[in-house]
């Protein structure tokens, strides 16, 4: 299993920026993909962005051009840089790591964007 801890959420005005961080521990050498998901009240959890072990990235259409996922392998960190935030980006953001044997989640960090 992989243990994940997110940080960096908070309250920001529309148009502002935040950077979320996720630190991984445990069976990190087996991680195939790491991603950020979000869940707004009354909605299903959705993919925001993902990065593979080879460094390939993908992002949801709703955040392309505004959000960037990156990682620091030496520090076992994954980041989500969020720019031009909109009220509809308000959600709990979760870090996710997938291995051949597990699908692990962090506890989530709240992001609130005021209009």
How confident is the model over 21-71, as pLDDT tens digits?
A: 999 999 989 999 999 999 999 999 999 999 999 999 999 999 999 999 999
pLDDT above 90 (res 94): yes
Across the range 96-107, mean pLDDT stands at 95
| CB atoms closer than 10 angstroms to residue 71 | 18
pLDDT above 90 (res 74): no
The mean pLDDT value of the chain amounts to 96
**C-beta contacts of 86-91 below 8 A and 24+ residues apart:** 86/14, 86/113, 87/14, 87/113, 87/114, 87/115, 88/40, 88/62, 88/113, 89/38, 89/63, 89/113, 90/40, 91/38, 91/39, 91/40, 91/43
């Amino acid at each position: 299993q992989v243990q994940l801890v997110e940080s960096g959420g908070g309250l920001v005005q529309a148009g502002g920026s935040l950077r979320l961080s996720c630190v991984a521990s445990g069976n990190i050498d087996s991680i195939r993909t790491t991603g950020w998901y979000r869940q707004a009240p009354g909605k299903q959890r959705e993919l925001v962005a993902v990065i593979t072990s080879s460094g390939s990235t993908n992002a949801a259409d709703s955040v392309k051009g505004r959000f960037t996922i990156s990682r620091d392998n030496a520090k076992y960190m994954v980041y989500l840089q969020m720019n031009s935030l909109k009220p509809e980006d308000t959600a709990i953001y979760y870090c996710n790591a997938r291995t051949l044997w597990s699908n692990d989640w962090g506890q989530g960090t709240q992001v609130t964007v005021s209009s």
